Structure 1
Amino acid sequence: MDPTVDTPPRGLLDPRAGAGVYREALIPAAGDLAGIVAHHWAVRWDLRGSAPYEVETLPGPAVVLVVESGKCRVHGVLRGRFSHALTEAGDIFGTTFRPAGFRPLLHRPVSGLTDRVVPGTDVFGPAAERLAARIASTGDIDERRVIAETFVRDHLTAPTPALDLVNSLVDEIMNDRECLRVDDLVDRHGLGKRVLQKLFREHVGVGPKWVIQRYRLHEAAQRLDAREIELATLAAELGYADQAHFTRDFKAAVGRSPADYGR
């Protein structure tokens, strides 16, 4: 099983630059984990005799469990860019959780992992080392998926009643271009701002305002990659009052202005 990604994953910066450098696959999660796991993914590369390649991402509101070189690590929601150097030959297998999906495995507020990448043993103890060893023992993607999902089920406790609500709110932010402010969620769902902020920090690790801005910047990067729109029009469609404000936010997150991105 090796499904090839036809469109770049959300949050991957400069995907065209990586064409031919590495191969990435997205693997659907089992149906019984639909509220917990968004998907699995695998990256393979062989750069022996070539210069290292730096992959940059603008992470979304999700915790990620990663196994690389026989080691397991947990990425909390990272509010800045994340860079990872690919060298020589290797592979990575990852499990990306739904926005609220990691809370039933962590047993405490997910905000404690925000802006942190920690060894898997910090969260799961020696079981993380056993997971990494089992995944390293096979190169078959479907076998790795089964191993990862068995691990998730073994560590899963009863989800909180808020899990489905928070997941649905984040999905709404991602898919509805008209959802541009926290007040939009307040008006639609009758939830107070403080309630929303507490729910998001407990289950996602960041506030709803950050999630709204991050998904809008993901959309901006995708559309700039496609070179399909003028900057002023893009800024307006993303809910910015003016192009200058959009440019500041984009540059702060991506490290380049929208005009320079993708060149």
Structure 2
Amino acid sequence: MASGAIEVHRHDSALGQWQVALRQPHAALRAHVAQLWHGAGQVSYQRDRILPQARSYLLINLGPPQYMFLPGPPEIRVVFDDIWFSGLYEGPIECAAPQGSVLLGVAFSAGGAASLLPWPQAELANRTGPLQDLLGPRARQLRQRLLETPSVAQRLDLVEDWLLAACISGRNVHPLVHWALARLADSAGRVRAEALARDAGCSRKHLTTLLSRSVGLPPKSLARVLRFQHVLGRLGRQAPDWAQLAADGGYYDQSHLIRDFQQFSGLTPAAFLRSAQPDPGSVVVR
């Protein structure tokens, strides 16, 4: 199998101790899958927030139960102890792993899940839940095989084989979807939906329908997520010139950036800078 080498990152700080193994996917999957990872360890904080990205995820818990919290009132704690799928999101997901974690994940590109998996992405956007609801026994069988496989490299091989053999659906995604996703990514979300539709030679309504069906979110929402991620990538740990950062990121003004920041992280930009980050995609909240 012509998969990439495994890159191992170890973390040991006041936030906890963990190890993450990252690998680029098999060549046949690279147009659809951005990355595979296997993480294990123990954190010292109570909860973190997973920040939205223009990706969907296959998540396989191979360790103690973890928890996802649905906002209330009342707040609802959902147990994650098997295999889940998480669609594209327009807000953060609050999680906890009080007993440690062993997690294997597949990160799909924005249009990757629609190309590989026979599921309606419009129904899965802003949702995270059990994969067995969609795949039945096949999901349980995959997880059981992973539990019986001690090697991280072999676990990643198993998931790749499963994606190649069991999940490639042969579904055709409209070429305009791939084109629009590339334009949005290349511009870091700065291209507007109206300009995108004009350049595509179709109505905004038609383009919105295509992306919503295949990706789960309309172009305007995808652009907002991509702009937010671009700003995150530009942040250090010192307060920047927010007005300049907003202008460079394609926001109308600083207040526009702050509104999006609060929606996507649940924090003001200043509060975000004061918060610890276990990794670039999450922030500690308790």
Answer yes or no: same fold by TM over 0.5.
yes
Q: Which residue of 2 aligns with 1:99?
A: 110
Residue 4 and residue 19 in structure 1: after superposition, are their counterparts in 2 closer, same or farther (change >3 A)? farther
Unaligned regions of 5+ residues in structure 2, if any?
Answer: 64-80, 275-286
Residue 93 and residue 178 in structure 1: after superposition, are their counterparts in 2 closer, same or farther (change >3 A)? closer
Specify the SS of the correspondent of 2:145. helix
Specify which of 108, 116, 127 is matched with residue 116 of structure 1: 127
Q: Which residue of 1 aligns with 2:34?
A: 38
Specify which of 3, 7, 11 is matched with residue 7 of structure 2: 3
1:83-139: CA deviations, max 9, x gaps? 221223331000111212222454342111112212111111100001111122224
Alignment of 1:1-263 (within 5 A): 2-4=6-8, 21-47=17-43, 51-68=44-61, 69=63, 71-153=82-164, 154-162=166-174, 165-177=176-188, 179-227=190-238, 229-263=240-274
Distance in 2 between residues matched to 1:17 and 1:159, nearest whole Å: 45
Distance in 1 between residues matched to 2:187 and 2:131, nearest whole Å: 34
- Give the alignment's TM-score, normalised by structure 2: 0.78
Residue 96 and residue 167 in structure 1: after superposition, are their counterparts in 2 closer, same or farther (change >3 A)? farther
Specify the SS of the correspondent of 2:158. helix
Residue 142 and residue 16 in structure 1: after superposition, are their counterparts in 2 closer, same or farther (change >3 A)? closer
Identity of aligned residues (%): 24
Distance in 1 between residues matched to 2:82 and 2:257, nearest whole Å: 39
Specify the SS of the correspondent of 1:45. strand
| Number of positions where the alignment pairs a residue of Structure 1 with one of Structure 2 | 251
Higher deviation after alignment, 137-146 or 191-200: 137-146
Query: Which letter does structure 2 place at the counterpart of 1:156?
Result: I
1:135-193: CA deviations, max 9, x gaps? 2222423212211122112122113142x642443233223247331123223332321
Q: Which residue of 2 aligns with 1:12?
A: none
Q: Which residue of 2 aligns with 1:10?
A: none
Distance in 2 between residues matched to 1:178 and 1:139, nearest whole Å: 41
Residue 254 and residue 53 in structure 1: after superposition, are their counterparts in 2 closer, same or farther (change >3 A)? same
Residue 16 and residue 230 in structure 1: after superposition, are their counterparts in 2 closer, same or farther (change >3 A)? farther
Distance in 2 between residues matched to 1:204 and 1:248, nearest whole Å: 24
Cα-Cα RMSD: 2.6
Contact 2:197 2:203 in 1 (8 A): yes
Distance in 2 between residues matched to 1:234 and 1:245, nearest whole Å: 11
Specify the SS of the correspondent of 1:102. helix
More strand by share: 2
Query: Which letter does structure 1 place at the counterpart of 2:41?
Result: W
Distance in 2 between residues matched to 1:21 and 1:203, nearest whole Å: 38
Unaligned regions of 5+ residues in structure 1, if any?
Answer: 7-14
Query: Which letter does structure 1 place at the counterpart of 2:255?
Result: A
Distance in 1 between residues matched to 2:220 and 2:121, nearest whole Å: 17
Residue 3 and residue 45 in structure 1: after superposition, are their counterparts in 2 closer, same or farther (change >3 A)? same
Distance in 2 between residues matched to 1:178 and 1:64, nearest whole Å: 21
1:31-90: CA deviations, max 9, x gaps? 11122222112221135xxx4442322122322111103611111222220122122333
Distance in 2 between residues matched to 1:16 and 1:78, nearest whole Å: 30
Specify the SS of the correspondent of 1:96. strand
